[in-house]
Structure 1
Amino acid sequence: MTAFVHKTLLVQLCSEGTGRCPVLAHLRYDADDPFAVTAVFGHDGRVLACWRLDREMLSEGLARPVGVGDVRLRPAATGAWHELRMEFLGDVRPDGGRQQAVVFAWAPAVAAFLRETHRIVPPGQERAPVDELLAEILSAG
């Protein structure tokens, strides 16, 4: 039996000129892919984006700024409200700029999701089936 955790959060998508717009974020963790969390963002029944996030990076982003590539995370606070700021950089536009989306999630909800994933596969006990993958690749040739 595959162990997984799924949580749906109401998050805020921040875009230029429109401010914050509520969207759903479906977070999924599967023990068969122990290093990753899949985040699917949707609105009005449409998928806006799907990202695979590093579980450890997601956890660290609750406490400090992390990420230097297409995904950047950091804590953000507005008074007593603690959020996780997630910045996603997309494809290059014709003008040379990059598409960008900023999402704010309630940090305690993300932390609760991560605690559930840690019960399934504790940090540091993740295993990747490298030997099995290499055997499969070598047997195919």
Structure 2
Amino acid sequence: MNPFAHTTLVVELQAGDTERFAVLAHLSYDAADPFVVTAVFSHRGRVLARWQLDREMLGEGLRRPVGVGDVRLRPTGGGLFDELRMEFLGDAHPDGGRHHAVVFAWAAAVSAFLRRTWQLVPPGREEVRVDDFLAQLSVGP
């Protein structure tokens, strides 16, 4: 079985006070790093942002508000057009504020992607390879 899952979704980005506009979200999962879903957001071939999301948090965000730090997720909408609202807080501005973006994804598409990851590594069956991690730390630059 292929230990990877990938999908590309059309999502809507709202940055600051702008209206929503369509961007691509490339979601990827590697069973070798079973807790992480990588999200790369792009527009017209240019990468706008790359975030590593906790897979369990992503699944919980489809059902209820989660997150208190730089990433906050919650379900929005109703019926067929349920969305996952993903709020990202980035680096600080010189004026003390922070970069802020909100991405809206079709909840059914995110859920379908997560089901594929759960087939690769079922929830609760993730393994932490401590020896591999420690070996990486001991390798110098």
Write out per-residue CA displacement over residues 84-126 of structure 1, whole angstroms, 9 at most, x where no aligned residue. 0000000000000000000000000000000000000000000
What are structure 1's unaligned runs of at least 5 residues? none
Judge conservation of contact 1:2–1:31 (CA < 8 Å) in 2: no
CA contact under 8 A between 2:36 and 2:52: conserved in structure 1?
A: yes
Task: Verify: 1:70 aligned to 2:50, yes or no.
Answer: no
SS of the residue 2:82 aligns to: strand
Q: Within the alignment, does 1:54 sit opposite 2:45 as a pair?
A: no
Question: Do the aligned partners of 1:35 and 1:54 also contact (CA within 8 Å) in 2?
Answer: yes
Note the 1:35-114 alignment, pairs <5 A: 35-77=35-77, 80-114=80-114
**Residues 80/2 of structure 1: CA separation in 2 closer, same or farther (3 Å cut):** closer
* Structure 2 equivalent of residue 20 of structure 1: 20
Runs of 4 or more off by more than 2 Å in structure 1? 15-18, 131-140
- 1:34 aligned partner: 34
Q: Residue 136 of structure 1: CA displacement?
A: 6.0
Cα deviation for residue 66 of structure 1 reads 0.3
What is the identity percentage for the equivalent residue pairs of Structure 1 and Structure 2? 65
Which residue does 1:4 correspond to in 2? 4
Taking the aligned partners of 1:5 and 1:106, their CA distance within structure 2 comes to 18
Q: What letter corresponds to residue 14 of structure 1 in structure 2?
A: Q
2:10 and 2:105 in contact (8 A); partners too:
yes
Shift in Å, 1:128 = 1.3
Task: State the TM-score, normalized to the length of structure 2.
Answer: 0.92
Letter of the 1:40 counterpart: V
SS at match of 1:95: coil
Q: Name the amino acid aligned to 2:62.
A: L
Gaps of 5+ in 2: none
Q: Is the 8 A contact 1:2 1:32 kept in 2?
A: no
1:117 aligns with 2:117: yes
